[in-house]
Structures are given as C-alpha cells and as structure tokens.
Structure 1
Amino acid sequence: MTPPSFHSHAKVWPRTTLSLALSLACIQASAADDPRELPLTLINADATSTPYKEKPYAVTAIEGKELQARRQDNLAETLRSTPGVSVYSSGGPNDYNIMIRGVGSLYQMSMDDSSVGMSLDGIDLSTRNLSLGTLDVERVEVLKGVQGTSSSASGAAGLINVITRKPTRETEGYVRAEIAEKGRFLQEGAIGGALSEQLSARIALRNSGEDSWIDNSNSGHPVSEPRDQAVRGSLLWDINESTRALLTAERNDADKRFNNLMLRPYGSAPSLDVPEGLFDDNEKSTERYSLRVEHDFDAMRLTSTTATTKTDFSGLVVYDNRLYEALYGSPSVFWNVDESVERTYSQDFNLASAAGSAIDWQAGLMASRNERSYDTPSNTFGSASAKYRDFTSNRYAAYGEATLPLTESLKLTTGLRHTWERKTYKGEYNAPGSTVTDAHRHNENYSTGRIGLTYALTPHSSIYGLVSHGHKAGGFNDYAGSPADSAAYKAANLDSLEVGFKSETQDAQFALNGALYVTRTRNDHILSYNPNTFATTALNADTRSRGAELEGLWRPQEMLTFKAAVSYIDARITTDAQAPTGAVQSGNRVPDTARWNGTLGVDYRQPLTLGNLPQAAFNARADYQYVGAREADPQNRFDLAAYEDLSLRVGLEIGGSEVYAFADNLLNQRYELYGFYSAGASGDVTYGAPARGRTVGMGYAYRF
C-alpha cells in the first residue's frame, strides 16, 4: 500500500439536490455502481502506509456515503451517534463539549482546550466548530485514546479526523434536496473534474435551515429560524510526477442559532417566554484557507500544510421569563451579548516513509498561533458591566511515530511528541463607576507518547496492547466574570492502558473489533458556572474511566448489511473539589457520560427490473441508538434520562436519480442535550434543552 495522496480517495456517490440537478443536467456522465466497502477496514488517513486496522488503538470510521444515508448533516450529529462519544450542547453554534470514553473536560474551559482534538484535512480546529456541516465529506474518523504522535493534531482523549473529498481527474458530482416538517430544508451539491492536463478542481455548496422546534409562548411561532450556508472550493495542481499542490478555500455561516436555556421539565410542547425575533442577529462565520504540497522522494514523502482559519461569533445568551423567575423570584427576560473573534495560523511539515519500507515511520514539526477574544460588551441593563478578554496561544511541537516488525507476526508501534505552549491573557472588567484590568502568562513544555504491540493471529485478525501518556494543557478560562476567576487552571496528565482485537473474514463479509481500557487523569478540568452570580470558576479534580466497546459488521448477502456497536463506560471523579455551586465528591460519576450506549444500523438494497428503466433499485435503511442515563453535573444532583432514537429511510433509485422518504426520531423521544442546576429563589432549579422530536420528510438525489 502506498502512502495516501490527493488521488487516492475512493469514488463515493453521495445523494444530491433537485435545484442543482437542473443546472447540471447538461453534463454528460454515467452513474457508477455504489461501492459497498467495509468502513471497518478501509481506514487510512494518516501519513504513513500502515492502515489503522494494523495499529494498536481503536478507530471508528464513518464513510461519507453512510453519513448521507444516515442524514447526519453536521459533525455534532455524527459524534452523538458514535458509541463511546458524548456531546454536550445547549444548541448554540459556539457551544460544544466532547468526551471520548468518559475522558475530556467536564465542560469546556476555553477555545484552545486540548481534551479532544479536531482535524479538518490535516488542519487543527477547535471543537467549538462541531456545528460545521458534513458537506462533501469523504470520511469522519474517531481515533480513541491519546493522539498526537502521528500527525500535527493532538488530543488527550482522542481525535476527530474529518476528511473532505478532493478533486479527481474524472468529472463527477451530485445534487440533493430535502424538505420536511417544521420548515426543515436542505439543498446541496458538488461537482469536480479536470480543468487541464495538470489542474483539477472541485466546488461544493450547501443551503439548509429549519424552524426551531422550540416555540415562542407569546406568539406560538418558532422562537427562531436557524439557517446554515457553506461553500468549499479546491484546486489541485499536478506539478509533475512527484509533486502536487492542493489549494482549498471554505466558508461556513450559521445564523439565528441560539443557546437554549429552558426550565425543566419542558412539557409536551417546549417553549420560551421571550420577545419575538430575539435571536435574529445571532451569527457565526468560519473561514478556512489552506495550501498542502506533497513531494515524493525515492524513500519518503514530504508534506507541507499551511493554513489560516478565521471565526467570528456574536449571539445572545438568554434567561426567559420562566427561568429568570425560578432563579431570582420575579419574571423578567435577561440576556448577555457574547462576542468572539478567533484567528489561527498554522504550519506543519511531515516526512513519511515510502511504501515497502522495512520500517513504517513518520516525523513532523508544527507551529501554530491562535489569537482570540471572548467579550460580553452588553446585557439587558446596558454596557456598564461590560467584560473584554483577549487571549493568545502559541504552540510548537515535534512529533514522530514508527511501526517496526519484530517478527513475521509481531509489530511494535511507538510514538513521541514534545510540545511547547505559550499563552497570554488580558482582561478588562467594568462596573458602574470603575474598571479593573488584569493580565497573566502561562508557559508549558511537556512530552506525550504511546507504545504498543500488534500480533497478527491470521492475515485478517490481530490482537494488540497499548500504553499511553497524555497531557491537557493548562490555560485561561474564557468565561471569567472578574479577575478572581481569571487565574490559569492547572494542566492535566493522564495515563491509559488499552487491549483489544481487530478481525474480519477473508471474504470481507464479517468484521469485529473490540477493546478494553482504563484511563486515570490527574487534575482533570472542571468548569463550574453559578447562574446566581454569573461567575464561572475553573477547578481541577482527578478522574478515572474504564470500560469496554465492541463494534462489528455482517453482510450475509450482497444486498444486506448489518452494523452494530456497544459501549460500556464507568467514569468517576476520584478526588474532592469545592465549587461555588456545591461540593464535588470523590466517587461521583463523570457528567454527560452514559454507562451503556449502543447502535444498530441495517442497510438493504434490492435491484429491481422496471421495464426499460436503467439500474433500478429499492433502498432501505434503519438506524437505532440507545443511550443510558447520565449525570447532568459534577455534583451528581440529577440525571438526564435514558433514551432511544430510531430513524428510517426508504428510496427508489432509477439510474442516477433517487426519490426517498425519511423519518428522524421516529419514537418521538425528546431526549435532553444537557442539564444545569442552581439554587433558585424558592428552591432547586434545573434547566437544560430538549432535542428535536419526530421529523418526517422526503428528498430527491441525483449523482453523476
């Protein structure tokens, strides 16, 4: 196997939109058969020639065609349906927290939190960008456990690796359109191909939106009408047989999305008591520009990736009349304006061994600079208590990993990374008649790494063991309400042990992977928010997570595929910590982490004979997920209930076209996305956000 290049991406036929189909009808191209590879085996996004299935750590991969079959149109939806992964969100485009196997930050501290890494085409992004859509995505990979020795991206709990489709020499593309209840719609498409003997290009676009499933209790109308737009263009230049350059530009806009803070219980018809149009000016935009250059030498490949990203966010955080009354004793609508500007510049150089080398290795150097602000310039009462916070983060790292054959069946994989971090913070806090400023610096140098063995039982099955050491850098709380909350929180260190197996049959009709693991974290990060004082405090406490996971695929016949996974996680806080909102006790469960989580997907495709109609087929897919109860906060004061999610999709395909119907959350379970607790004016107060209920719709797709 050769190291992956820009042309090594398998051609996958995604589904498409009617509106773009009309504009592309003049293109002469034939539809190819839908490839049906096993996503458990075709995994190889790093720079080396060894596929992930031969490495000593667990990876869950979701191919682009499966993302579209599941109709998971953003990364948060994809991760929420992945066993072992927890996603905390109150619904806003800038508010996400991820935990993998019960490891992560217990609420995200800052935009440069390194608990879970995120990489988009080899470019580091903050996990605050989980609102990004899965537009024209080839594959999403969840690499579990300590990462950072095989690429510039790092994460103590794991890495979310997103790979978009690249230009090819063959003209190809798709369009897709959907319409559903509650004003939900989607239009998207992509087209790519050769421009000349040396140039290829691809462009992808998406326009989507919905009416919020939360109503305004005053008008009966949806409290907001979120809208998302995205465009990505890429240009591939084959300079010569050994050198290639890929230029990519991308922009994503999310408008009218909001943090949903709703008093529990929500009732059968969730609503907020707020003025009409309150969230109309909420907006977030993300731009990405990158240049990736590859050059092949006789014994290695050199890859240079240069990138810059820009993110602007502005939105309201609102307590409606009911929540404010529960907290403070009288009805009122209170809101804060949050504004954030983030700029990141990065450079990565990577050397990787050529195919056929006795030792599979890679090494790299990376540097990045992040400049950001997180401000609260005004609230309901004006700008007298405005807060302004500016941060910089400079990160430099040297990393490397190698896989050495010790015997014909035994391989050793070892990797090491050393990172230098330099962070600064400046704050300005206003109060009527006074202004207070403060500033801090935080520097760290640390090493992380892993060492593992893989033993091949057969050519298609192996067992492995892995020991890893990870680090989550200290830093500054983005949400500090005063200098008293602005001091740097401590770094966290973790050690983990994982053993597992990976197997598949020779005919690729059955595959099964499993793992057992335990992780201990010292000085894990806890963010404590007190809604009574609007103060946010950063704490540290030790945690321990242990568990097991199993995922498999069975294809009893060519037209039928079953894919299932189950995860068990026992994650606990192991030291006491004192938060302003209440004591965190040793033995408490890590919040937002269900003990049991499982999925089952069934995909069926039956070719049909319909007169002279070409390539007719009936398609059907069902996806089921169970998520067990989980604690809402580090103090374990209340639970978020277990839930089940069932989605269906059926379609009729003729040639390159398909008409389909779908039902999301068929069981209509309005499960909770997060939960908070506060001591209110007349007793305990809990609030959170319900997920969207049942949604039924239809769509049209065309691929060429």
Structure 2
Amino acid sequence: MKRANMKTHLLCSAGLLAITAMGHSLPAIAQENDTSADEVSRTLETVTVTAQFRDQQLQDVPNSIVAFTAQDIEDAGIRSTEDFIALTPNVSFDNSFTYLNSFVVVRGVTQINNADSPVAIIVDGVPQNNQKQFKMPLFDVEQIEVLKGPQGSLYGRNAIGGAINIVTRQPTNEIEGFVSGGLSNGSGYRMEGGISGPVIKDQLMFRLSGSYYETDGLIENAYLGRTVDTVDHDYSIRGKLAYTPNDVFSLDLRAAYTDARAGAAYDAVVNSQLNPDFRSGNDSNDIFAPASNLAGITEADILDLSGKASLDMGFATATYILGYTDLTETYRSDLDFSNPDQPTFGPFGQLGQGQNLSLDLLSQELRFVSPDERTFRWIAGGYYLETDRSLLTRGFLDLTGSVDQFDTGIAIIDRSEDNDNTAWALFGQAEFDLNDRTVLQLGARYDEDERNQTQGAAGPVRTRSFSAFQPKITLSYDILPDVLGYATYSTGFRSGGFNAPGVVLDSFGDETLTNYEAGLKTGFADGNGTLNIAAFSSESEGFQFFFVDASTVSQIISNLDKVDLRGFDADFRYRVSESFTLSGGVGYTDSEIRSIGNAQLESYLTASGVDTDAVIGSRSPKTTDWSVSLSGQYVRPVRSGLDAVLRADYEYQGNKYWQIDNLDVRDPVNLLSLRFSLESDIWSASLWGKNILDEEYYADFNPAEYAGAPFDLGSQARPATYGVDFKYRF
C-alpha cells in the first residue's frame, strides 16, 4: 500500500493536535500522593529507578534511561516487549522467523540469531541470558527501565548496547488482585489475572498471576488460503513469595512457566533468478504475501526459577541471586518458501527445514552495596554462569507438505551440536561526592567466558576462551538545581563462539565497544516537564552480524573489523495542563563500516555476489537512522469517580538498512495508535487500534546474497490491529 510520507505525517499530527485542543480536566499521569479531582498537583510523577543497584530518582542518574512506570504501562496499553520498544528512541525491535525470535538493535548494535543479545535483560534482578527470553508477554509489571550505551561495568557481557530492567509487581501485605481480558481482530483473545496477599501478616506474602493469548492471525498465505501468523496458545503463569522476618533480612522466591504454540517462518519470496537486479526491502513498493506450501509452526516452553536473598550488614547490603532457566523451542517450516506451482530451487523440488533447541542456564551473583547516604558509595560483586545448549538442524525433501517430515522424511542435512559455556566475572563501582554539585563515578568489570562445542553425539570438541576488562568513568555536575550534566567513558563486551559444525565460517570472534557520551538531564516549568539529551560516539571492534546460508541450512555469525557508531538520544515529558500530557523522543544513529578485516568472510561474500569494496562506508546491518515517538494523553472526568482518557501514540521509523552493502533499504515507516478508555478506581474499559493507518512494511528482510538462496526473503509486519480491553481490580 503506497502512501506519501507527508500525508501520513499530517494525519498523525492532526490526531495529536486534536487531543491538545481539548479542554482541562484531570492529570494524565499518576501522582505521588492520592488527590481528589478538585485537588490535583501540577508536578510530574517522581520516578525511582534501580539501574545502578540502588534506589535513585530517574533525573539524578547520569545515564541515558527511559523508564515506564506501572501507570505508563497501563496508559499506553503495553502488553509485549515490542510495545515499549516502540516508545524508546534509538531502539528497534523486529519479529522474525520463530515465535520467540526477535531482533533488537540499540544505537546500531545488533541482535544475533541464536546467540548473545546486545542488551542485558534483567527480570526481577535475574539476568535472562538468551535471545529467546526477550520476547515476552508483559503482565502484572511494575516498571520497565531501558538503559542505553554500554553497561559492562555493572551488567557484564551482553550489555554492549545497554540494559533493560523489568520489575514485576511485588507481593502485598493486603489481599488485592485483578482480572482483565480483551478481544482483537483476527479472532484474538487475551486474558490476564492476578492475586496477592499475606500468608503470615507482615512477614510472608505471595503473588500469583498469569496470562493467556491466542489469535487466528492476520497475515494470509496466498497459496494455502489461510493465515500463518497464528498463535494457537501462549500462556504464562508466575508465582512469587516474599519473606521479611525482620528489618535486616529478606528472601524473594520466584517461579514462572510459559508455553506457546504459534506460526513460524512465513517469509515471502520477493525476487528470484529471473530478475537478479531487482532491489527490495522497501515498505510500500513491493510487499509480497507468503505463498509457501508448508505452513510453519513453533512450539516453545520456558521454566524460570529464581531466588534473591538480601542481608543488611550495616556497612553494606549483601544480595545473593540464583537463577535457573530451562528453555526449549522447536520450529518446522518451508526452506524454499515456494510451492509446487512456483518452485524456486528448480530440480531440487520442494524443501523443508527445522530445528530443535534445548537450553539450560544456571546463574549466580553475589554483590555488596554500600548505604546510599554516604559521600563515598560503592558496589562490589561476582557473577557465575553455566550454559548447556543443544541444537539439532535438519533440511529435508518436502514430498507431502507436512512438517512431520522433519522426523520421518528424507533428510538432506542432519546436523547436531552441543554448546556449553562457563562464564564468571568480578565487578565493582565507586562514587565520590567531590563537592555538593560534582560526583565522580569509577567502575570496572572483568569477564571470562569459556565456550565448548561438541559436534554430533560424540564427535570432536572445540574450545575457545574470551575475556575482557570493561572500565567506566562518569563525571556528573549539577549545573542548576534542575539541570544535571554528565560525561561518560564506557565499554562493553559480547563474547564470541562457534557456528554450526561443517559450515563455511565455523566460528566468530568477540565484540568490544568503546563509547564516549555527554548528556544533560533537565527539569522545567516548575516540575511540570523533563527534557533529557545525550550524544554518543562509539567504536565497535569485531562487530557481530548475522546472515543465512540456505545451501547448508546454516545460521552464520561473523565479524566486521571496525564499525563507528555516532548519534544522539532525546526524550521529554511535559504536562501542558492538569488534563493533558505530551511526551516523546527522538533518536539518530549514524553507523559506518570502516573495515571488514576478515579474509575468509570477504572471500565468502565475494562468492555470494557481494561487492565488498562497496561495503566500506556503508551503514551497519539492521540499523535505522532516525526514530521518533510522540504521545499525547488527555483525561476528562465523566462523573465523580469516572474518567475518560484519550491517548495517541505516533512512531516514525526512518530508513532501515537490512545488510552491510546497503543495497536493500526499507523506506521510512509511520505508525499511529489510538486508545480511548473509561477508568474508575476499580474497573476500566478501552477501545484501541495499532497501526491504524495500515502501513505495510517488512518486519525482517534477508537479501539473496545473505540468504544463501537465489531469492530475497521478506517477512511481513502485522497490519492494522484493533480491539477492546476490560479490567477489574479488587
């Protein structure tokens, strides 16, 4: 669907201006203290974050952070990872291939499939150490914090692009709970619920919550005549116990389980050998529907167990965190992404593919955090991780159009591998109040990671070790009472590893990032507004990127020698009146590939038809140059105790560069969402729509030169979605 960008901008702006033009009423965001409709404070909510392992006000932390409180999550209808990423400048999130798969990019640092994430994902203090754990239903969540820029000194490996801290709601000392549900187009159905209260008053408390989602999908396969982005079921349940026998000791226990069955790999063949000069990746010019004869499917389940014990020792609080994850994901799908009426591999006929992934992770962390009120504050700790990952990959002849052929059919590729790694780290951070207005922060971390891969059931074993020292220095200065300036030197590290045995590039190296950043965090309009700006300049050595070799059914990771990343973030929130709040942000990332520096990779790319000379000076893969978000929320009382809330969210995604030669670029995308709610203290009802302009674009795109096949592959993003939500609290 082709649309002029100017027209889309005008439509989006008109929606927000319409909200602005309305009269005066209640505040659009939560206040620190309960107030009546006639007694409303004009100040914004004070947000407390735990990004540096201690409670701090958001505006006092010298770091680029976007935080979403429980009220923000409720107001914006945030239900998934993708929802809050859309409101965060310089961060993008793309769904791709399997149901749990996703590609997150932070300031140009890119997610790698079946490998370490570019951001550290922390849920209730426990690191989520696999890419498949990032895409999750967000229910019963208290707060989300997105830190941008390397956070290696505290969060270690994988925090090369930043960190995301998700805090779920804690058990309460009084009985409370909620039930919510919703319907959406595509026969979508969602339900959530939770209950919390004391087991032993003031000492032992519990919280139990869960969610369920299913949909028939909205993306239709033109050959099969059915939708392929279905979710047969996705249910999660989470239980928490909090034990606080006295003022100095606390123990938190958490268990969570997720089970899902959904579609997979509904990519469409965009071009073929018949038109090899055709370039694609654009949103409105060449959107093709999937037309494969083999409908893909994903089955996944995740078990998470964790415990956190804290002891106030006077000179410091000691915290021990234990986390365990058991994750499995299987997918089956087409490999040629075509059908018998339109074959793409010629004499090879129809082909299928699939993988069985099994993952066990055990992590432990012990840290000591000094009291907050001292002029010298410090953090010290250690971390340990064990990972056991097995992967079975098969390509097979598709003779019957059934995914069961993965187990019973004729295999043309059958490859198994076991990847084990042991990682440990020591870290520390110190803060010095040089005077009443100046703080110096020094941090450092040493990480060591040993990787082992066993090929086949009892094949040869490969071993490699990776290590890094990650320092961080930050100087912050209170320029004015409401203006904080800071300058940071920080580093990040992402471990290397092994590709599948027998592929053209059998291993990849680690990636390190050196970042220089300067920022301002400001408040204005007597507490009614905040404006935060950060500029960064980074150099990546060993930049990791991902591509596919379909000829060996292989997902391959390799390294680019040097990539420069420069840009800025800005976010603001302004309470225009007691009834209207405006918020948003803008981000820009200018990436440049300086050198490939890998002879084996250059040889492979050249053989695949890539002009490696043209790669130098290009932007890094999956990078979006501009990102803009703008939200307006208006609240009006309908009667005593009942409010009407109107909210509009606009997102602009600039040019997206799919691969390292920049020949395939997605045009800018404009997304507009609207939400209208009636809210009381105990219930709410909402009508909502996402992507209401029905923008058509690719969520993921793999050019032929990087897909190992004679065609480009494009995966459609979801079209316009709309629905109704209900919630009851008790």
Q: Deviations over 1:589-609 (max 9, x none)?
A: 112212111000111111222
1:569 aligns with 2:551: no
Alpha-carbon offset, residue 279 of structure 1 = 3.6
Counterpart of 2:148, as a letter, is K
1:671 aligns with one of 678, 697, 715: 697
Q: What is the CA–CA distance in structure 2 between the aligned matches of 1:415 and 1:225, rounded to whole Å?
A: 46
Q: Deviations over 1:334-383 (max 9, x none)?
A: 22121100000011111111131221221111111010111114533523
SS of 2:75 mapped into structure 1: helix
Contact 1:189 1:204 in 2 (8 A): yes
- Summarize the Cα distance change of 1:69–1:91 in structure 2 as closer, same or farther, 3 Å threshold: farther
1:122 aligns with one of 106, 125, 130: 125
1:354 aligns with one of 341, 363, 371: 371
1:555 aligns with 2:578: no
Counterpart of 1:135, as a letter, is F
Q: What is the CA–CA distance in structure 2 between the aligned matches of 1:180 and 1:36, rounded to whole Å?
A: 36
What is residue 433 of structure 1 aligned with on the other side?
none
What is residue 421 of structure 1 aligned with on the other side?
449
Q: What is the CA–CA distance in structure 1 between the aligned matches of 2:473 and 2:706, rounded to whole Å?
A: 50
Q: What is the CA–CA distance in structure 1 between the aligned matches of 2:694 and 2:41, rounded to whole Å?
A: 33
Q: What is the CA–CA distance in structure 1 between the aligned matches of 2:706 and 2:156, rounded to whole Å?
A: 46
Alpha-carbon offset, residue 530 of structure 1 = 2.7
What is residue 410 of structure 1 aligned with on the other side?
438
SS of 1:155 mapped into structure 2: coil
1:303 aligns with one of 319, 328, 333: 319
1:284 aligns with 2:304: no
What is residue 464 of structure 1 aligned with on the other side?
486
- Summarize the Cα distance change of 1:656–1:109 in structure 2 as closer, same or farther, 3 Å threshold: closer
Q: Deviations over 1:159-180 (max 9, x none)?
A: 1211111112133222211101
1:696 aligns with 2:696: no
Contact 1:327 1:678 in 2 (8 A): no
Alpha-carbon offset, residue 202 of structure 1 = 0.5
Q: What is the CA–CA distance in structure 2 between the aligned matches of 1:60 and 1:671, rounded to whole Å?
A: 27
Contact 1:54 1:454 in 2 (8 A): no
Contact 1:476 1:489 in 2 (8 A): yes
What is residue 513 of structure 1 aligned with on the other side?
532
What is residue 565 of structure 2 aligned with on the other side?
545
Alpha-carbon offset, residue 224 of structure 1 = 4.9
1:210 aligns with one of 215, 228, 231: 215
- Summarize the Cα distance change of 1:657–1:115 in structure 2 as closer, same or farther, 3 Å threshold: closer
What is residue 606 of structure 1 aligned with on the other side?
636
Counterpart of 1:636, as a letter, is N
Q: How does 1:234-249 map to 2 (within 5 A)?
A: 234-249=240-255
Q: What is the CA–CA distance in structure 1 between the aligned matches of 2:569 and 2:343, rounded to whole Å?
A: 41
2:98 aligns with one of 92, 101, 108: 92
SS of 1:299 mapped into structure 2: coil
Q: What is the CA–CA distance in structure 1 between the aligned matches of 2:353 and 2:42, rounded to whole Å?
A: 49
Q: What is the CA–CA distance in structure 1 between the aligned matches of 2:197 and 2:87, rounded to whole Å?
A: 33
Alpha-carbon offset, residue 135 of structure 1 = 1.6
1:314 aligns with 2:330: yes
1:492 aligns with one of 494, 511, 527: 511
Counterpart of 2:361, as a letter, is T
Contact 1:291 1:306 in 2 (8 A): yes
- Summarize the Cα distance change of 1:365–1:506 in structure 2 as closer, same or farther, 3 Å threshold: farther
- Summarize the Cα distance change of 1:374–1:410 in structure 2 as closer, same or farther, 3 Å threshold: same
Q: What is the CA–CA distance in structure 2 between the aligned matches of 1:85 and 1:623, rounded to whole Å?
A: 16
What is residue 341 of structure 1 aligned with on the other side?
358
1:272 aligns with 2:290: yes
Q: What is the CA–CA distance in structure 2 between the aligned matches of 1:96 and 1:308, rounded to whole Å?
A: 22
Q: What is the CA–CA distance in structure 2 between the aligned matches of 1:656 and 1:166, rounded to whole Å?
A: 19
- Summarize the Cα distance change of 1:39–1:75 in structure 2 as closer, same or farther, 3 Å threshold: farther
Contact 2:528 2:576 in 1 (8 A): yes
Q: What is the CA–CA distance in structure 2 between the aligned matches of 1:525 and 1:322, rounded to whole Å?
A: 30
Q: How does 1:365-444 map to 2 (within 5 A)?
A: 365-377=382-394, 379-380=396-397, 382-383=410-411, 385-428=413-456, 437-444=459-466
Counterpart of 1:205, as a letter, is G
Q: What is the CA–CA distance in structure 2 between the aligned matches of 1:131 and 1:680, rounded to whole Å?
A: 25
- Summarize the Cα distance change of 1:331–1:700 in structure 2 as closer, same or farther, 3 Å threshold: farther
Q: How does 1:128-207 map to 2 (within 5 A)?
A: 128-151=132-155, 154-197=158-201, 198-207=203-212
SS of 2:623 mapped into structure 1: coil
Counterpart of 2:422, as a letter, is N
Alpha-carbon offset, residue 484 of structure 1 = 4.4
What is residue 477 of structure 2 aligned with on the other side?
455
Q: Deviations over 1:513-572 (max 9, x none)?
A: 001111001111122323345344432211111001211000022221110100111012
Q: Deviations over 1:213-244 (max 9, x none)?
A: 22233453222521210100001111222111
What is residue 636 of structure 1 aligned with on the other side?
662
Contact 1:362 1:400 in 2 (8 A): yes
Alpha-carbon offset, residue 270 of structure 1 = 5.8
Contact 1:39 1:62 in 2 (8 A): no
Q: What is the CA–CA distance in structure 2 between the aligned matches of 1:150 and 1:538, rounded to whole Å?
A: 26
What is residue 83 of structure 1 aligned with on the other side?
89
Greater Cα offset, 143-152 or 591-600: 143-152
SS of 1:284 mapped into structure 2: strand
Identity between Structure 1 and Structure 2 (%): 22
What is residue 627 of structure 2 aligned with on the other side?
597
Contact 2:266 2:296 in 1 (8 A): no
Counterpart of 1:175, as a letter, is V
What is residue 3 of structure 1 aligned with on the other side?
none
- Summarize the Cα distance change of 1:37–1:241 in structure 2 as closer, same or farther, 3 Å threshold: farther
Q: What is the CA–CA distance in structure 2 between the aligned matches of 1:501 and 1:103, rounded to whole Å?
A: 23
Contact 1:387 1:481 in 2 (8 A): yes
1:522 aligns with one of 534, 541, 547: 541
SS of 2:137 mapped into structure 1: coil
- Summarize the Cα distance change of 1:394–1:129 in structure 2 as closer, same or farther, 3 Å threshold: same
Alpha-carbon offset, residue 412 of structure 1 = 0.5
Q: Deviations over 1:373-426 (max 9, x none)?
A: 111145335235311010011111111112211111110011100112111011
Q: What is the CA–CA distance in structure 1 between the aligned matches of 2:94 and 2:413, rounded to whole Å?
A: 29
SS of 2:48 mapped into structure 1: coil
> How high is the TM-score relative to the length of structure 1?
0.87
SS of 1:408 mapped into structure 2: coil
Query: Runs of 5+ in structure 2 lacking a partner?
Result: 1-28, 271-279, 398-408
Q: What is the CA–CA distance in structure 1 between the aligned matches of 2:356 and 2:192, rounded to whole Å?
A: 29
Alpha-carbon offset, residue 321 of structure 1 = 5.2
Alpha-carbon offset, residue 574 of structure 1 = 1.0
Q: What is the CA–CA distance in structure 2 between the aligned matches of 1:619 and 1:606, rounded to whole Å?
A: 6
> How high is the TM-score relative to the length of structure 2?
0.84
SS of 2:226 mapped into structure 1: coil
- Summarize the Cα distance change of 1:461–1:474 in structure 2 as closer, same or farther, 3 Å threshold: same
Q: Deviations over 1:64-86 (max 9, x none)?
A: 33233323322133224421012
Greater Cα offset, 561-570 or 192-201: 192-201
Contact 2:113 2:131 in 1 (8 A): no
Contact 1:224 1:279 in 2 (8 A): no
Contact 2:296 2:333 in 1 (8 A): no
Q: Deviations over 1:136-160 (max 9, x none)?
A: 1111211111113234675111112
Q: What is the CA–CA distance in structure 2 between the aligned matches of 1:460 and 1:59, rounded to whole Å?
A: 17
Q: How many residues align?
A: 659
Q: What is the CA–CA distance in structure 2 between the aligned matches of 1:668 and 1:309, rounded to whole Å?
A: 38
Alpha-carbon offset, residue 269 of structure 1 = 8.9
